[in-house]
Amino acid sequence: MEKIWLKSYAKGIPDTLTYEKITITEALEKSVKDFPDNNALIFLDAKITYKKLDDMVNSFANALIDMGVKPGDKVAMLMPNMPQLVIATYGAWRAGAVVVMNNPLYTDSELEYQFNNSESIVLVTLDLLAPRMIALRPKTQIKQIVVAHIRDHLGFPKKQLLPLVAKDKHREIPPTENVYEWMNCIKKYPAKNPNIKVDFESLASLQYTGGTTGLSKGVMLTHKNLASNVQQIMAWFPDFTRGDMTGLGVLPFFHSFGLTCVMNFIVWMAGADVLIPRPEPVAILEAIQKHKVTFYPAVPTIYVGLLNHPDIDKYDISSIKGCFSGAAPLPVEVIKDFEKKTGSQICEGYGLSETSPVVTINPWGGKTKAGSIGLPIADTEIKIVDLDEGTREMPIGEPGELIVRGPQVMIGYYKMADETAKTLRDGWLFTGDIGKYDEDGYLSIVDRKKDMIIAGGYNIYPRDIDEVLFEHPKILEACAIGVPDQYRGETVKAFVVLKPGEQMTSQEVIDYCKEKLAKYKVPTQIEFIKELPKSGVGKILRKELREMELQKIGKAG
């Protein structure tokens, strides 16, 4: 099918790019050269300029080299968004190493698997997690552990007050073999670029995906993948000027959305990155107002949390020029409400860890379609193919599996040849997502292939039900799943989180759905729940709800 989406591109946006073949750390060097005194990182009261950031990146790269890290070795990160995560990541890349991002909320068994699968030999972690990681180390190939503290880069008053603010004491790690303090590593080693040649096509990052059921897979992303995706995003948002943007670093950098769309994008743009270690509404609102944030990438749960905060009107968030949403569907009502509050455009997009992650975005400065994931970005090809064989292209308006080809697509899963062969076929990435085009080339995701509910022979996409429930004024969040049913095979059950102070009965929810949905889509079971299970990036975990439900059914049986 021809690229019908090109006619809907915003004015002046190219459909193909000439890429700068430089690694992300070389992009940092360029930003340092052009804007040495600009703020690169803002964290509580700490402001770190590009020159200072670059010096610390060099010091940490030299520390890693002294620990025995060679090009291609794996260095694991286990921290929330704080300056040390950015410095350590760029330092590892500058030493020629591969960065392995890990979720600080994971259990020891999940982390043990990821450390071993990735063959990580050094770990950089937060003091809070250090005792657990020191205990876990003998079960892994990790030799050295570097321990970072929240206070490391803070100024005098905040450093003294932090324990009171955080209701916590400074965590001192007792002297242990091959365990190093972060600041000692930075102070001990020279701020001199080690000048290790890193190939543009070489492996840069392992991003672990999945893992809630079965083994998580290490997505292999090259420097080319990461650099290409940043440049694709830059071309899509041409109104942001290099050296003159402030982004909110609330998306966790251990997730590919935060890694590319915040950390790497802002460094490439020589902007200031306001780091938020926990996505709490007040911290976000204060940061936007204080630092005049212009670029606000977030996930739907963060937009919902902000909009429903009782004090939102007390803050000035009008500095925001552009918003970017991804990782999960953004309810139409949320888009309308947030755009009304800020006067800025929310561009909903779509991506996967396997695509660095951005594949499509609603056109910035063009027509956004609520409920759509937008248009494929430059040099990105999309097809919608039949669900059975994946060989036949579906006509406009017909759902099928979305497949992707472009410079941002991974080279495979680490040490998982069979999984790679299933997912990458003839140069195309099979996403497992069901999507469709409209006549203007805008894409929408109907659902995950695995999430589809088949009830009485009808295909039901849970997202349709979620959208309707989100629109109800009393409902904060909702998630629909399929549960076993003797008569229909499956039936729809909805988990509903009410807004504070609101009350509803199951029948009220069902009656409301009857007004908005085809009869076969209406939930037959409702369960009110305090909160929905979410991933570290704020994505609602539908499969966890399914597992909980199946366990309940098993016990009842």
Residue-by-residue DSSP string for 510-546: HHHHHHHS-GGGS-SEEEE-S---B-TTS-B-HHHHH
Instruction: Supply the pLDDT for residue 156.
Output: 67
Q: How far apart are CA 550 and CA 483, in angstroms?
A: 8
Q: How deeply is 209 buried, as exposed, middle or buried, from its count of CB atoms within 10 A (0-12, 13-18, 19+)? A: middle
Question: Of 351-365, 386-400, 445-459, 481-495, which range is least confident?
Answer: 445-459
Band of pLDDT at residue 167, cut at 50, 70 and 90: very low
Return the H-helix or E-strand segment holding 67.
none
Q: Given this model, what pLDDT does residue 14 score?
A: 96
Can you tell me whether residue 152 is helix, strand or coil? helix
Q: From CA 497, how far away is CA 472, in angstroms rounded? A: 11
Q: Give the pLDDT of residue 164.
A: 44
Asked whether the predicted pLDDT for residue 556 surpasses 70, the reply is no
CB 447 within 8 A of CB 463: yes
pLDDT at position 328 is 67
Kindly tell me if the per-residue pLDDT of 286 is higher than 50.
yes
- pLDDT per position as a tens digit, 123-159: 999 999 999 999 999 999 999 999 999 989 987 666 6
**3-state DSSP call for residue 184?**
helix
For residue 357, whether the previous peptide bond is cis, meaning omega lies within 30 degrees of 0, is: yes
Helix axes 223-236 and 24-34, enclosed angle (nearest 10):
50
Q: Concatenated DSSP letters for 268-306? A: HTT-EEEE-SS--HHHHHHHHHHHT--EEEE-HHHHHHH
β-strands 74-78, 120-126: how paired? Answer: parallel
Q: What is the Cα–Cα distance from 104 to 83, expressed in whole angstroms?
A: 16
Average pLDDT over the chain, rounded to an integer? 91
Mean pLDDT confidence for 33-55? 96
pLDDT band at 170 (very low <50, low <70, confident <90, very high): low
Where are the chain's structural domains?
A: 50-199, 452-556
* Closest residue by Cα to residue 355 from 439, 230, 473: 230
Tell me what pLDDT residue 557 has. 56
Q: What are phi and psi of 57, to 5 degrees?
A: -60, -45
312: tokens are 């939102």
User: Residue 165: its pLDDT value, please?
Assistant: 47
- Distance, CA of 139 to CA of 133 (rounded, Å): 10
Distance CA 184, CA 67 (A): 13
- Give the pLDDT score at 166: 53
Provide the CATH number for the domain formed by 50-199 in this structure.
3.40.50.980
List pLDDT tens digits, range 456-504: 767 787 888 998 899 999 999 999 999 988 777 789 999 999 999 999 9
Q: What is the CATH number of domain 452-556?
A: 3.30.300.30
Question: pLDDT tens for residues 62-82?
Answer: 999 999 999 999 999 999 999
Closest by CA to 78, choosing from 67, 64, 89, 69, is 89
How open is the CA angle 119-122-126, to the nearest 5 degrees? Answer: 120
* Angstrom distance (rounded) from CA 197 to CA 388: 45
pLDDT for 157: 67
In this prediction, residue 241 has a pLDDT band, given cuts at 50, 70 and 90, of very high
Q: Are the C-beta atoms of residues 466 and 509 closer than 8 Å to each other? A: no
Residue with tokens 């998630």: 479
Percent of the chain at pLDDT > 90 equals: 71
What are 77-116's pLDDT values in tens digits? 999 999 999 999 999 999 999 999 998 988 888 899 999 9
Q: How do 428-437 and 272-275 pair as beta strands? A: unpaired
pLDDT value at residue 159 = 62
88/62 Cα distance (integer angstroms): 11
Q: What are φ and ψ of residue 124, in 5° steps?
A: -110, 120
Cross-strand bridge partners of residue 447: 434
Confidence class for position 211, pLDDT limits 50, 70, 90: very low
